[in-house]
Structure 1
Amino acid sequence: MPYEPPTHTVERSLRATTGAKVVAGLDEVGRGAWAGPVTVCAAVTGLRRPPEGLTDSKLLTPKRRTVLAGQLESWVTAHALGHSSPQEIDELGMTAALRLAANRALEALPVRPEVVILDGKHDYLGDPWRVRTVIKGDQSCVVVAAASVLAKVRRDAMMAELGAGYEDFGFCDNAGYPSPVHRAALEALGPTPHHRLSWSYLDALPRWQHLKRVRSVPDTASLEAGGQLGFEF
């Protein structure tokens, strides 16, 4: 399906209205997974022309994403990744875990952004960062699209590495997201140390329900489609 390539329009506007010289883009991957970390990439690109074909990582084939990520690593001005573990997600809730991963990514950048463009409509980052949210920013903003691709490829690689020890779960293919293979393995073998134990998928697995963790203060902002027994990944 044809798509409009991302532009620097939002970044140019922010530079003009705020005087910012360093604008970062943030995107996350792994929010709706049953297993693995949630990963946030912070990228700084400047206003140069991006590699051909850059767009939201979800619109790219795995092969194209991998090739593009290799190009982006040498093209971006700077980028860094931050992760929150399944245990941190269970303890903090998804919103706070996202904030933690995002701050880890931003603090790891060699330059400090003056403005952050965040994909989506909710600002899960907050102070002390100056944030501009952009719905579908991973499709419309170059700097967010770059972060999207880098985050997706890196987390997929991490899940493939984890999958070497848990072949039955299909992490190499589903990256920890819901899938028929993943569900069948959970029913037969139960969660691994890489699974999120506060997720509602455990409600449909009577043999393993006793492992579910319930936070004293539910994170209402973190209810995910991936927490149910669907098969989207």
Structure 2
Amino acid sequence: MKRRSDEEISAPLYAYDTAIRAEYGCFAGVDEAGRGPLCGPVCVAACILDPEHPVYGINDSKKLTEKKREALFGEIIEKALAYKIVFVGPEIIDRDNILNATMGGMRQAVEELDIVPNLVLIDGNRTPAGLTMPAQPVVKGDATSASIGAASVLAKVSRDRYMLELDRQYPQYQLAKHKGYPTKLHYELIAQYGIQPFYRRSFLKKQGYWPEGK
């Protein structure tokens, strides 16, 4: 079977964006990474792509290899008309819950774009409250819209880089391996070494896991 080119992979996503742009003009795609882990931030990105300078190969970041995501990250940053990446830390997640923290991060990312979009496309089935411009949810948007797909790459790569830096500071947790997600190994390491300020205490409590005395 012939392997599809990057342009062929992105063609349906760019076609979707072209239809949106024809109706609304300038618009932004928004996505997040890291809602499920036990530690670290949830990372949110908003991105306005330049239709005159497409980035081929964009897709749902989970469908891309780490090497491909890294390559796309640099190209998106270089070619996008505007983008913003926001980290929402564990203290906010614990205070507001993960949904509200994510929605707040999405709103902040959109509000801090250098260009004000006429429409915001949000990956998922809901939109943040308080946006000053129209917004539409797009289920599986990162595999539907090139703009949301670009935002998913920015968010995923940014969060992974953050977790790799934490791994260098706290190698005992092996964060480079599991990126903070609730794996068997991760729980075992928490039981052995306790928790640090970058852990989401509400997640550990919710899942019935709390390392007493650590």
1:51–1:68 Cα contact (<8 Å) kept: yes
Alignment of structure 1 residues 1-233 onto 2, 5 Å: 4-5=9-10, 6-17=12-23, 20-48=24-52, 50-200=54-204, 203-205=207-209, 207-208=211-212
**1:176-233 deviation line (CA, Å, top 9, x unaligned):** 112233111111122211010111466544543x89xxxxxxxxxxxxxxxxxxxxxx
Paired AA for residue 19 in structure 2: S
2:118–2:133 Cα contact (<8 Å) kept: yes
Q: Which runs of 5+ in 2 are unaligned?
A: none
2:59–2:143 Cα contact (<8 Å) kept: yes
Normalised by the size of structure 2, how large is the TM-score? 0.87
Paired AA for residue 185 in structure 2: V
Paired AA for residue 134 in structure 2: R
1:81–1:108 Cα contact (<8 Å) kept: no
In structure 2, relative to structure 1, the CA distance for the partners of 1:109 and 1:62 (3 Å cut) is same
Aligned length: 208
Displacement of 1:50: 2.9
1:55–1:145 Cα contact (<8 Å) kept: yes
In structure 2, relative to structure 1, the CA distance for the partners of 1:201 and 1:166 (3 Å cut) is farther
Paired AA for residue 184 in structure 1: E
Normalised by the size of structure 1, how large is the TM-score? 0.80
In structure 2, relative to structure 1, the CA distance for the partners of 1:67 and 1:156 (3 Å cut) is same
Identity over the aligned pairs, expressed in percent?
A: 31
Paired AA for residue 37 in structure 1: P
In structure 2, relative to structure 1, the CA distance for the partners of 1:196 and 1:207 (3 Å cut) is closer
CA distance in 1, matches of 2:36, 2:52: 33
CA distance in 1, matches of 2:182, 2:128: 24
1:82–1:103 Cα contact (<8 Å) kept: no
RMSD (Å) for aligned C-alpha atoms? 2.3
Q: Which runs of 5+ in 1 are unaligned?
A: 212-233
2:107–2:131 Cα contact (<8 Å) kept: no
Larger mean CA deviation between 199-208 and 41-50 belongs to 199-208
